[in-house]
Amino acid sequence: MASIKVINPNSNTVVTSAMSEALEPLRMGGGPRIDCVTLERGPLGIESQADVTAVEPLVAGAVQADNEADAFVIACYSDPGLHLCRELTGRPVFGIAECAILTALSRGAGFGVISILPGSVARHMRHLRERQLQHLCVGDRPLGLSVAEVASGADTLRRMQEVGQALRDEDGAEVVIMGCAGMARHREPLQDSLGVPVIDPTQAAVTMAVGAVALGG
């Protein structure tokens, strides 16, 4: 049976569980198995360039040690180790930031990103520029919360709604991307309140991985 390995590079199992639950609709009969794993030695959240650098060899190790998965998804919005993993394996490797952006562009002309911390924004912009897609991002606004708070906090949804409204109304976003894998459980209520498509990056990447694996790609 074909399978997709979704790697959560942080060590927060609350994030991994919420992510796996959000992927449930993509586990379909005859489709690939979707396995979510936690990198135990990763930081609790990836909130700096130092965190990114620290997890890149761990992500690469998880890919290299796996002889079974038909495709890999790196489930952190900084796409740590994406180019490295592609260098190390011939099997498809998807970054959730990259896939979220591409999926958003299938639904509207300009997208906005809800980030966790102010320090995330410059990192996201560097990645967007590297992909030559920065002109399609109309705004990237931070919540001012940690990854742990985002995944568990009671007030997170209300704050995401505020930021999402600013992206939609002030920046003109036609689609909103949740810029952290730990935001998964908020997608549906956020989309209902904003009235524009809201993209969960892990769902976006796993959708593309399901397609690639199902189609032999």
Closer residue to a second copy in complex, CB, 41/155: 41
Closer residue to a second copy in complex, CB, 65/154: 65
Closer residue to a second copy in complex, CB, 153/211: 211
In angstroms, the CA 146 to CA 169 distance is 25
In angstroms, the CA 58 to CA 39 distance is 7
Q: Scan for tokens 């199992």, then name that residue.
A: 13
Q: Are strands 3-8 and 111-115 parallel, antiparallel or unpaired?
A: unpaired
In angstroms, the CA 73 to CA 49 distance is 20
Closer residue to a second copy in complex, CB, 102/148: 102
The distance of closest approach from Cβ of residue 13 to a second copy in the complex, given in angstroms and rounded to an integer, is 23
Check: CB of residue 81 under 8 Å from CB of residue 60. yes
The distance of closest approach from Cβ of residue 5 to a second copy in the complex, given in angstroms and rounded to an integer, is 16
Contacts of 37 (CB under 8 A, 6+ apart): 5, 6, 7, 8, 16, 62
The distance of closest approach from Cβ of residue 121 to a second copy in the complex, given in angstroms and rounded to an integer, is 10
Nearest alpha-carbon partner for 83 in 59, 117, 116: 59
Task: Dihedral sign for Cα 158, 159, 162, 167, please.
Answer: negative
The distance of closest approach from Cβ of residue 39 to a second copy in the complex, given in angstroms and rounded to an integer, is 15
Closer residue to a second copy in complex, CB, 147/208: 208
Which chain residues interact with a second copy by CB under 8 A?
Answer: 25-31, 48-50, 52-54, 56-57, 60, 81, 83-84, 87-88, 92, 94, 98-99, 102-103, 105-107, 109, 122-123, 125-127, 129-132, 134-136, 187-188, 191, 197, 200, 203-205, 207-208, 210-212, 214-217
Q: Cα-atom radius of gyration of the chain, to the nearest Å?
A: 16
Closer residue to a second copy in complex, CB, 155/170: 170
In angstroms, the CA 5 to CA 213 distance is 11
Looking at the DSSP assignment, which residues form a beta bridge with residue 111?
137, 175
The distance of closest approach from Cβ of residue 105 to a second copy in the complex, given in angstroms and rounded to an integer, is 6
The distance of closest approach from Cβ of residue 49 to a second copy in the complex, given in angstroms and rounded to an integer, is 5
